Amino acid sequence: MPVPIYNTITVIGLGLIGSSVIRAAQSQGLAKQITAYDRDQAVRDCAKRIGLGDRVTDTLEEAVADADLVLMAVPVGAMASVAEAIAPALKQGAVIADTGSTKTSVIRDVAPHLPDHCQFLPSHPIAGTEYSGPEAGFATLFKDRYWIIIPDGVDDEAVSAFCQFLEGMGAIVEAMSAEYHDRVLAITSHLPHLIAYTIVGTAFDFEQQIRNDVIRFSASGFRDFTRIAASDPVMWRDVFINNADAVLEMLGRFNEDLTYLQRAIRWKEADKLEDLFSRTRDIRAKIKDIGQLD
C-alpha cells in the first residue's frame, strides 16, 4: 500500500482539474481523507452521487478546517474571494495551492488574504480536455504531464511534500517564476485558445448556408479548433483578463508574423511559405519526442 503524503486534503472546485486530482489521489492513496467542495449545489450533489472524495461539504469553512493541503481549482477570477473566505478557518501549517492558468495575478489576489500561519504554493497543471464538471475528471489526466510550481518563499518541507503528491499523480514537476510562467503560457496555451475562439466565431458569423456547410464539411484542422473553443468560457474569460499584458505581447508578435505570411501568399513567395511550414513541422516533431502529444 502507498504511504499517504497528507492526512487530509481539500479540493475546492470540482471541474475537470479538481475532480481529476481527487480521482488520482484516491487511486494512488495519496491522502488519508479527501474533502470536496464546490459552490454550486448541483455540482456538490453530483459529486456525492459519483463518490468523489471521502466527503462533500456544504460550506467552505467546513471543507478546509482540518486540511493539511487546500487546492483551489477554481477560475483565476474567483481566487481572491475563495482565499478570503477560507482564511479564518485554515489550520496552523496548512499549505494552500492553486491550479490557475495565470500565476502573477493569482499571487497578487490570493497572498494578501492568507494568514501568516499558512503557506501559499502557487501551481499550474499543464493538462486538460475540453470537458468540464465533476464527471469529466479521470485519474490519469496528469500522467506524464508537466505541473508547474512557483516555490518562492515556501519552506523546503512543504515544497517536497507537494512535489511528492504531484509526482504520485504521475505529473512531472517543474519550478519557475510567476512572470516567466505567464509569458510561456501566453504563447503555448492562451493565444491558441484566443485564435480558436476567433476562428470558430468567424465561421459562425458567415451567412446561414456557409455556416451549415462549415459544420458539415469540417476538415480535421477546423475540428481541432472547435475542440479547443469548446473549453470553459468562464475560465478562459478570466485567463485573458488576468494575463492581459503577456497575451497582448504574444498577440502583437503573432500579428506581425501573420502580416509576413499574408504578404508571402499575396506575392506567391513559395520559398518563404515552405521555410515557415518546415520550421513549424520541426516543432511538432520535438513535442512528440518529449512525450507531450496525446
> CA-to-CA distance for 10 and 56, rounded, in angstroms?
10
Q: At residue 238, does pLDDT exceed 90?
A: yes
pLDDT at 1 over 60: no
Coil vs helix vs strand at 218? coil
Strands (E), the chain: 6-12, 31-37, 55-56, 69-72, 95-98, 119-121, 123-125, 146-149, 172-175
Least confident of 40-49, 171-180, 263-272, 285-294: 285-294
pLDDT of residue 212: 83
- Give me the pLDDT at residue 210, please: 82
Query: Residue 283: is its pLDDT beyond 70?
Result: yes
Q: 273-285 burial, b if ≥16 CB within 10 A, otherwise e?
A: eeeeeeeeeeeee
3-state secondary structure at position 173: strand
Tens digits of per-residue pLDDT, 198-213?
988 888 888 778 888 8
Q: Is 69 helix (H, G, I), strand (E, B) or coil?
A: strand
Residue 150 in grid coordinates: 512557483
Note the pLDDT of residue 55.
97
Kindly calculate the radius of gyration of the chain based on its CA atoms and give it in whole angstroms: 21
| Domains along the sequence of the chain with CATH | 6-176 (3.40.50.720), 180-289 (1.10.3660.10)
The overall longest dimension of the chain from CA atoms, in Å, is: 67
pLDDT, average across residues 241-254: 95
Report d(CA 217, CA 113) in Å as an integer: 51
pLDDT band at 2 (very low <50, low <70, confident <90, very high): low
Enumerate residues 6+ apart whose C-beta is below 8 A from 126: 145, 146, 147, 148, 189
C-alpha cell belonging to residue 115: 494568514
Task: Quote the pLDDT of residue 207.
Answer: 72
List the one residue out of 130, 121, 195 whose CA is nearest residue 161.
Answer: 121
Beta strands 119-121 and 123-125 are unpaired
153-157, 228-232, 248-252: least confidently modelled range: 228-232
pTM for this entry? 0.90
* Burial (CB count <10 Å: 0-12, 13-18, 19+), residue 131: middle
Given a cut of 90, whether residue 110 has pLDDT beyond it is yes
CA–CA separation, 186 and 167 (whole Å): 25
Query: Mean pLDDT over residues 169-184, rounded?
Result: 97
Mean pLDDT for the chain overall = 93
106 contacts: CB under 8 Å, gap ≥ 6: 76, 79, 98, 100, 122, 242
Q: Express each pLDDT in 44-63 by its tens digit.
A: 999 999 999 999 999 999 99
